[in-house]
Amino acid sequence: MKVLVLGAGVTGLAAAYLLARDGHAVTVLERRRGVALESSHANGGQLSYSYVAPLAGPGVIGKLPGWLLDRDSPVRFRPRLDPAQWAWGARFLAACNAGAADRTTRRLLRLSFLSRDLTRAAIGDEGIDCAFRHAGKLVVYSDQAGFDAARRLVDYQRSLGSEQEALSRQQCLMAEPSLAGIAHRLCGGILTRGEDAAECRLFCAGLEAAMRGGNLAVDFRFGTEVRQILAVGGRVVGVLTDQGVEEAGAVVLAMGAGSARLLAPLGIRVPLYPLKGYSLTLPIASDDAAPRISVTDFARKVVYARLGQDLRVAGMADLVGHDTRFDLSRLELLVRQARKAFPEAADWTVLRPWAGLRPATPSALPILGPAPGLANLHLNIGHGALGFTLAMGSARVVADLLAGRAAPIPLDGFAA
C-alpha cells in the first residue's frame, strides 16, 4: 500500500521506518528542508523509559499559584484569546489527581518498555551513530515532600516492572559526584539504572539514511507543505500540498503541534496544545565536572544529558501558543540554573540555544491509531516531552493497526 507520513520529526520517521519494513511504499512529506528540524532537533536527550509520570499529578494544583506568580517558574502560562488553550488547561486540571496519574503512568510504561526494545534494536540493526549511552538517570529533589511522593511512586512503578532506587543525599553524591555544587539543597533522588541517552537529531538522521538505502527506498519530499487532508466517503484519499495533490491508500499524521490544524476541517478535535521548551548544547570543558548519569532537577524541571563531547541542558514548559521565538529571560534563566548546578562542566561562551514546541495532551498520553470516522487516517501525535522516548513504540502500534494486526499493547487511553 502507498502510505503518506506527514512529518519528519522522530515520531514520523519512526513510523515511516517500521511501515517501510512492513513492505509499504512510504512517502514522507515535510515542510522543512530536512529531518528533525523542529521539536526533535535539540530535545533533552534523555530516553526515560521508566520515568514517565505525567506533569498533571496530584500535587500540581497546589503549586500553580506559585508557578503563575513567579517569573522564574519552570511552568509559565500566558493567557491568550484562544479557546484551545483554555480547553486544554481545563482538561489538564481535571487530570491532576492520583487516580488519573496512576492510570497514565501504567499505560505509558507499557508503551515506553515496548519503545525501549525497538529503539535499541534500530540503533544496533542500522548502526546509527547518535551518541547513544546506557547512562542511567538520576532525578534529584530539593524538598522532602516531593522526595517522599517520588518514593511512593517508586513502589507503585515497581509493581509495573520498573527498577528504581531511592537514594539519600550522600548516595546521590556517590552516584554522581558532579552534583556537589547543589548538594546543599538536595533531599535525595531516584536512580533508574536502565535509562539511556542519545542525540535525537542524529537518531533521526540515521533512520533517514537507513530508509534511503537497502531495500526500503522511502521517498522523502522535503520543502513540501501539507495544506489539507482530503477525505471522500469516509476515507482519506490523499493530501493537498503546495506542490499539488498527493494520493495514497493511507495517511499517518505525525506533524506535532501543527496536527490539530489539519484535523479541524475534518471535524476532528484533539486535545493538543504546544508546551514550549528550551535547550542549550554546551561543549564539555571538564570531564569530571560534567554529569555522567543523566540528571533531572525536579524542582526546576531542568534535565542534563551527556551527548558525546557535549552537555545538553533542557527545560521549561510554557503555554504561550505557537510562538517559537526565544524569550531571552527564559534562556537566561536556563543558563543561570545550569551554571549554578555544574559551574565547571562546560564552556559557557558557546550555548547553541534552541526553542521548540512539544505537542502535548493534558493527560500526557499520545493519541495513536485510526481517526474517528476515517479508518485509513492514523494519528501519531501528542507525545509531549516524551517524543524521543515513545517514538518507536508508537510507530509499532500505528504500523500494526494499519496492517490489520492486533496492537502490541492495550490501547485504553491512547485511541482517538
- What is the per-residue pLDDT for 62? 84
- What is the per-residue pLDDT for 350? 96
**Positions in the chain whose pLDDT score sits under 50:** none
Contact 29, 246 (CB under 8 A): yes
Separation between Cα atoms, residue 254 and residue 6, nearest integer Å: 6
- What is the per-residue pLDDT for 59? 81
pLDDT digits (tens, 9 = 90+) for 236-272: 999 999 999 999 999 999 999 999 999 999 999 999 9
Q: How many domains does the chain have?
A: 1
- What is the per-residue pLDDT for 14? 98
CB proximity list for 33: less than 8 A, separation 6 or greater = 222, 223
- What is the per-residue pLDDT for 12? 98
**Residue 137: CATH number of its domain:** 3.30.9.10
Residue 182 in any domain: the answer is: yes
Mapping DSSP to helix (H, G, I), strand (E, B) and coil, where does residue 251 land?
A: strand
- What is the per-residue pLDDT for 160? 87
Residue 333 in any domain: the answer is: yes
Residue 203 in any domain: the answer is: no
Domain assignment of residue 291, given as a range: 53-102+133-196+272-360
Alpha helices in 133-199 (DSSP H): 144-158, 169-175
Residue 39 in any domain: the answer is: no
- What is the per-residue pLDDT for 214? 76
pTM of the model: 0.96
Nearest to 168 by CA among 153, 155, 158, 179: 179
